[in-house]
Amino acid sequence: MSRRQFNQILVPTIAVVVFLLLWELLVWANGWPNYVMASPSDLWPAYVRFSGLFVEASWETLWRTVAGLGLAIIFGTLIGMIMGFSRTMRDALYPLLVGFNAIPKATVVPIMALLFVGQHDFNTVMLAFMISFFPIAVSVSIGLSTLEPEYRDILRSLGASKLTIFWKIALPKTLPEFFGALKVAVTLAFIGTNLMEIVSPHGRGLGALFDSGKTNSDYPLMFAVLIVLAALGILLFYVVVFLERIFAGWAERRET
């Protein structure tokens, strides 16, 4: 392991430890009881006590977030392609998309819950999808519509089809923008999943676990859930960063 790689792991680890210590210190110095603010040392017992629930809930939250994000990628890319290739469709769809994006998704939760009663998995995935497809659609459409005509012409002059031009040039050229949007979308999808889990009755996943901590006045449990949510968020984010490095690593200029 090189010194640089070592630093890449060590520095963030130290930062997390420092953060936890400061948190502990803050609660201790103010003499706050558990029901005002739990401290990191209170969290461990909560994890031990509810370990089975945590594993199950994390899995529920994780798969539904990834499923919603997957839908957002497919749908967002499709919408982005339509808007990127057709000026008319861009003019038609843009206000609709912006309007849709502006609706606070918390208001959508009861509508979804009524529309698809009892379909908790479906509703959760849908909300994660709805909240996260917008940045993907916008970035793909901008990436495609700002493609310099010469890029198209080098292939078109050889008689390449539109599909070939899309695969060989438009798509790869859009990848850096796409991954930029995906980093935003991954966090949004996560928020969507949790929103549904917390708000909808008889929910499952980490959101529901948080909600039951609230109902039972188990404050350390609530904080413990938040920490797991943060950890899962970090995990998903770095999966995207990892994929970006594989598929769009060329966009990163080497230091000279």
Partner 1 sequence: MTDMPQIALRNVTHAYKTDDGPLPVLRDLNIDIPEGEFCAVVGPSGCGKSTLTRLIAGLMRADEGDVILHGEMVKGPKNTVGMAFQNPVLLEWRTIMDNVLLPLEIVPTKLTKAQQRERAMSLLELVGLRGFEDKRPSELSGGMRQRASLCRAIVHKPEVLILDEPFGALDAFTREDLWQTMHNLRAEEPFTALLITHDLRESIFLADEVVVLSGRPATAQYKLKVTFEGERKLDDLYTQKATDMLSILRHQIEIAQGRVPNDNSGGEAA
Contact residues toward partner 1 (CB under 8 A) are 148, 150-151, 153-160, 164, 168-169, 172-173, 175, 248, 250-251, 253-254
Nearer to partner 1, 169 or 184 (CB): 169
Radius of gyration of the chain, Cα coordinates, nearest whole angstrom: 22
Which residues, other chains included, contact 32 with Cβ-Cβ below 8 Å and sequence gap of 6+?
A: 39
Least distance CB 163 / partner 1 (angstroms): 12
Written as one string, the DSSP assignment of 130-192 is HHHHHHHHHHHHHHHHT--HHHHHHHHTTT--HHHHIIIIIHHHHHHHHHHHHHHHHHHHHHH
10, 26 Cβ separation under 8 angstroms: no
Nearer to partner 1, 93 or 144 (CB): 144
Q: How far is CA 175 from CA 133, 144, 219, 227, 245, in A?
A: 16, 10, 43, 32, 11
Least distance CB 160 / partner 1 (angstroms): 5
Nearer to partner 1, 142 or 160 (CB): 160
Least distance CB 250 / partner 1 (angstroms): 4
Nearer to partner 1, 3 or 254 (CB): 254
Least distance CB 177 / partner 1 (angstroms): 13
Least distance CB 90 / partner 1 (angstroms): 19
Phi, psi of 153 (to 5 degrees): -65, -35
Nearer to partner 1, 65 or 174 (CB): 174
- Cα–Cα distance, 165 to 159 (Å, whole number): 10
Nearer to partner 1, 156 or 183 (CB): 156
Least distance CB 170 / partner 1 (angstroms): 11
Q: DSSP state, 249? A: G
